[in-house]
Amino acid sequence: MLFIPSLRFSLTYLVLWVLVNTALGQSFGGLKPGIEWRQLNTDTVRIIFPEGLTTEAQRVANVTHYLRKHNVDQIGDKAFKIDILLNNQTSVSNGFVSVAPWKSQFVTTPLQDNFQLTALPWLDLLALHEYRHVIQLSSARRGIVKLLYYLFGQESWTGAAHLSLPSWFLEGDAVWAETIQSSQGRGRIASFLEGYRALKISGTKYNYQKARNGSLTDFVPDHYRLGYLMVRYGHKKFGDQFWKDVMLEASSFKGIFYPFSRAIKRNGNLVASEMYDAMWQELSDNSSANQEGEATLQVVPKAPSKRFTDHQYPYLMGDSALVYFERSYDQIGRFRRFNLKTGEVETLVTKGLSIEPYFGGNGNYLTWTEYTTNARWYEENYCDIFQYNVQTRKKRRITRSGKFFSPQSSADGSRIICILSDQSMESRLCLIDSESGQIVKELEHNGWIYTYPQFSPDSNKIIAAIRDSVGKMALVEIDIETSGERLLTSFLNRIIGIPEIQDSIVFYSASTEGVENIFGTHIRNGQTFKYTKEPNGAFQAAVIDSQLYYVTFTDKGHVIKRAPLPDPDTEANSKPFQFDVKVDLLDSVPDKTYSTSRYRPLTKSLNVHTWGLIFEDPEIIARVLSNNVLNNVEFSAGVKYNYDQQNYRPFARLSLATWYPIIDLEVARLNRSQTIEDALRKWTETNFGGGLSVDWNLTSGKYLRQLRPSVAVNHTLLRGDFNFSFTSLATQVTFQQQRIKARKNIFTHNGQYLQFRYSKSIDEFAAEQFQVRSALALRGLGVNHNLLIEADYKSDLESAEYQFSSGFNHRGYGVIPGHRAKRFSLDYHFPLFYPDRGFAGLVYFYRVRLNPFFELSEVSDPVAEATTFRSVGGELIFDMNMVNEVPFSLGVRYSYPLNENFSPSFELFLPIYRF
């Protein structure tokens, strides 16, 4: 735990710092060396990409150039040139724009679930969405934001921009852009707004503060959904110029306090909360969902009525058991089996960390993927297949270091069909031998993107949903032996979900008329029928004995419903999306070829993005910061002024993560003075430091693991009234393991922390210290309670002329110096209540928790007996969101020392723990 004795630091700077650092999504030094990088450099973008992705880089360049030429004035007035990194190393589908440094990253692995991010070509979708952020943030650099940028650089630019423009607007406008500029976009996907439909159906309406900040206990749609609905409402009511005027005025801080809401008021005659109320009313008034007859459908298994719980991906094991995936705000994901005859529910196995929640069921086998990573180069991560035999209760890992998605076993478990997504952005159907984990066959493809392949009942054919190069989807049947393909449906501009094969019919979900419902297509003649009329959508179908099981979404989570399979009497295909713009922008993008060249990362290592003054009590720091685009070289330099001690400290630091160990080099100089034996002594202290470290990410299964060994040499040179030098060596190993936790869990239910540190002088100066810090995190009496146990030990050389650290911080006593120190503590964290209340848009409270503690320390010196210190107390901790954007925790601590001559104390502190 880190104890902060004073809160005199600048709260404004803290907010800006958290905004900046939470926006940075790429890990330092995560990209492995040896990648042949190339660049496409124009006046609009510089695209940095691995060898082999030239075609994709050309497409991104053409789309971004077209957007800059034709679409900037839709929301802003400028778009600065930006670096875009195409990352084909990771399996996690993502894209982002960051400031400090100014860059964007497109992960080239497409998402399997088309209902989340559409079936559009993946890089086209990223370009539409992320370049909108480029326009937003470029145009926001005006007025006060521009002044702060010139004074302090890009950190202040992004911090001030995010203070003036809420995240719901930035993301909602980007979703609006991808929707109106393409034939799909998330605004057209039925499932994108299922959360708001669920709230509307249940009659639940949250106030604007809760809608914006969210909740730990209740389901609240995220800022993408809120933002899209608000932006759509603004366009409809006030015209297409409205949001541009609001954004430019807000980012100019016209009205220092609440600039965004004031800009809405000036241009629309209502504030943000009033616009939210009006949007909600219109959403309700325009509802045409027909719930008649749906209330009689049976929910299996019965979902908890008060606690948010997801039940998804139903799989029927014969006519007696239903297997499904369950997760909640209190529990991590697990597979459960529901006995259809007795109603009993049992947990089969807990699922590890995973990119996709989907699992495939067939026979006695469940198959899914889990996330793993390269230990050192953690931008290179994997999606590997696991198989579970329900009958034997055994879980097996099938593949290693692969990028596999949406697996399903054959009925006998011997083969697995899955999607392989490689670094060239190709999507291939692969047949894997479950014993060896090797690919035994890659099925031929026509350039389609495959999703959710399923074995036919005889395991000789595969049926999968596919999407073409423009985002249209269809169903295809593939013969495993010959690789012959036959389309079961025509390509249409709509989304198709997971196929379920029952006899001669393929059941699947598809979007139509604003919601997603279950359809069935006859494999032989292609006739298609609609089977459900669920008001908030029906998907993930399972069929047996004329019984239809499917999933729908409610305000308490996904539930599984059961209904008799109707006899459809009317043939009905799902309808394509209604295209409500005049021109599909993606069809208008030219196919220009830009020149490319080799990109040499080391020559681009210096990229200064931030400068000027910052304040970290009790220091004023003037510095420059530099991070390169690949995020493996970091440099900082400047001067620190400590106004308590009235001294200056020049410093420079360089971190290189381009090789296997991370190299850190640092130099700092400090003028010091001290009265010793009634005489004022002055000297200059210069420190030279260098170190090697490795961050190993050993995450697998249910556990996040990190191992960090390091070694550092520090040379201190004193000149003035003292003239000597001192060289020391410090070695440290830190290991941390923690089980993944659910949303409401305060800490992990099973965590370990262990750190060894050994420091020693390597010259004639006598100094040596050994330190051990350890901690355990355990579940408490309640599912969201935690017991934390810490035990620390420190020992110095008895004849030491210098102590590397004086002791441990003990609550109620402060730092207790001594040559030998032991510390033990017990903390019990539990929630008191969840307010879900805010104040004036400045602070929003998610949770209030209490932590009673006991602490024991023993300190000894060579010439004195050991002294024991004991204290008890309590910490009241507030988990909150500051200015609606910054997750933040603040605590009030009461410490009661049990030793004589010490007084109880209250203090504010930042609750930072080892887990």
- pLDDT exceeds cutoff 50 at 4: no
HSE at residue 268, side-chain half, CA atoms within 13 A, is 31
Would you state the structure tokens that stand for residue 499, as one six-digit string? 């196929």
Mean per-residue pLDDT for 335-358? 95
- pLDDT exceeds cutoff 80 at 672: no
Residue 251, SS3 per DSSP: helix
- pLDDT exceeds cutoff 50 at 360: yes
Strongest mean pLDDT among 284-288, 300-304, 601-605: 601-605
Q: Residue 103 and residue 137: Cα distance in Å, rounded?
A: 11
Mean per-residue pLDDT for 355-362? 95
HSE at residue 898, side-chain half, CA atoms within 13 A, is 13
Would you state the structure tokens that stand for residue 620, as one six-digit string? 């004023």
CB proximity list for 514: less than 8 A, separation 6 or greater:
190, 288
Q: How far is CA 552 from the centre of its chain?
A: 25
Write down the pLDDT at residue 20.
Answer: 40
Q: How far is CA 487 from the centre of its chain?
A: 37
Average pLDDT, the chain: 91
pLDDT tens profile 846-861: 999 999 999 999 999 8
pLDDT tens profile 211-248: 999 999 999 999 999 999 999 999 999 999 999 999 99
What is the fold of 36-289+582-598?
Answer: Neutral Protease; domain 2 (1.10.390)
- pLDDT exceeds cutoff 70 at 696: yes
Write down the pLDDT at residue 615.
Answer: 82
Q: Residue 316 and residue 301: Cα distance in Å, rounded?
A: 13
End-to-end Cα distance, the chain? 9
Task: Give the CA angle between residues 526, 529, 533 to the nearest 5°.
Answer: 155
What residues does each domain of the chain span?
36-289+582-598, 741-915
Mean per-residue pLDDT for 177-205? 93
Mean per-residue pLDDT for 448-457? 95
- pLDDT exceeds cutoff 50 at 68: yes
Q: Residue 367 and residue 397: Cα distance in Å, rounded?
A: 10
pLDDT tens profile 635-652: 999 999 887 777 889 999
Range of weakest confidence among 302-306, 575-579, 588-592, 735-739 = 575-579
CB proximity list for 35: less than 8 A, separation 6 or greater:
50, 51, 89
**Whole-prediction pTM:** 0.93
- Which residue, among 28, 27, 57, has the nearest Cα to 42 in the 3D structure? 57
Q: Residue 475 and residue 468: Cα distance in Å, rounded?
A: 11
Q: How is residue 438 annotated by DSSP?
A: -
Range of weakest confidence among 291-305, 425-439, 568-582 = 568-582
Write down the pLDDT at residue 194.
Answer: 94
pLDDT tens profile 88-111: 999 999 999 999 999 999 999 999
Mean per-residue pLDDT for 592-615? 93
Would you state the structure tokens that stand for residue 700, as one six-digit string? 């697998």
How many percent of the chain have pLDDT more than 70? 94
Q: Residue 109 and residue 88: Cα distance in Å, rounded?
A: 7
Task: Name beta bridge partners: 462.
Answer: 455, 478
With cut-offs at 50, 70 and 90, classify the pLDDT of residue 24: very low
- Which residue, among 50, 137, 75, 72, has the nearest Cα to 102 in the 3D structure? 137
HSE at residue 679, side-chain half, CA atoms within 13 A, is 6
- In this structure, the number of other CB atoms found within 10 A of the CB of residue 296 comes to 7
- pLDDT exceeds cutoff 60 at 664: yes
With cut-offs at 50, 70 and 90, classify the pLDDT of residue 873: very high
Mean per-residue pLDDT for 129-157? 96
- pLDDT exceeds cutoff 90 at 83: yes
Q: Residue 76 and residue 134: Cα distance in Å, rounded?
A: 10
Write down the pLDDT at residue 515.
Answer: 86
Q: Residue 175 and residue 167: Cα distance in Å, rounded?
A: 12
pLDDT tens profile 243-273: 999 999 999 998 788 999 999 999 999 999 9
Write down the pLDDT at residue 763.
Answer: 85
Would you state the structure tokens that stand for residue 729, as one six-digit string? 């060596």
- pLDDT exceeds cutoff 80 at 294: no
Range of weakest confidence among 352-356, 387-391, 863-867 = 863-867
Q: Residue 803 and residue 769: Cα distance in Å, rounded?
A: 7
CB proximity list for 663: less than 8 A, separation 6 or greater:
654, 655, 656, 657, 690, 691, 692
pLDDT tens profile 500-551: 999 899 999 998 767 899 999 999 998 999 999 898 999 999 999 889 999 9
With cut-offs at 50, 70 and 90, classify the pLDDT of residue 453: very high
Q: Residue 492 and residue 474: Cα distance in Å, rounded?
A: 7
With cut-offs at 50, 70 and 90, classify the pLDDT of residue 722: confident
- pLDDT exceeds cutoff 50 at 835: yes
Write down the pLDDT at residue 25.
Answer: 45
- Which residue, among 370, 412, 397, has the nearest Cα to 702 in the 3D structure? 370
pLDDT tens profile 746-783: 999 999 999 999 999 998 888 899 999 999 999 999 99
The answer to whether residues 112 and 406 touch, using CB atoms and an 8 Å cutoff, is: yes
> DSSP strand E in 469-600: where?
473-479, 485-487, 500-502, 505-512, 515-522, 528-530, 539-544, 547-554, 557-564, 597-598
Distances (CA, A) of 489 to 112, 307, 528, 882: 20, 40, 9, 51
- pLDDT exceeds cutoff 80 at 844: yes
- In this structure, the number of other CB atoms found within 10 A of the CB of residue 156 comes to 25
Mean per-residue pLDDT for 379-404? 96
Q: Residue 891 and residue 914: Cα distance in Å, rounded?
A: 16
Which tops the pLDDT comparison, 683 or 358?
A: 358
- Which residue, among 914, 893, 913, 897, has the nearest Cα to 851 in the 3D structure? 893
- pLDDT exceeds cutoff 50 at 28: yes
Would you state the structure tokens that stand for residue 177, as one six-digit string? 């852009």
- pLDDT exceeds cutoff 70 at 474: yes
- pLDDT exceeds cutoff 90 at 683: no
pLDDT tens profile 399-419: 999 999 999 999 999 999 999
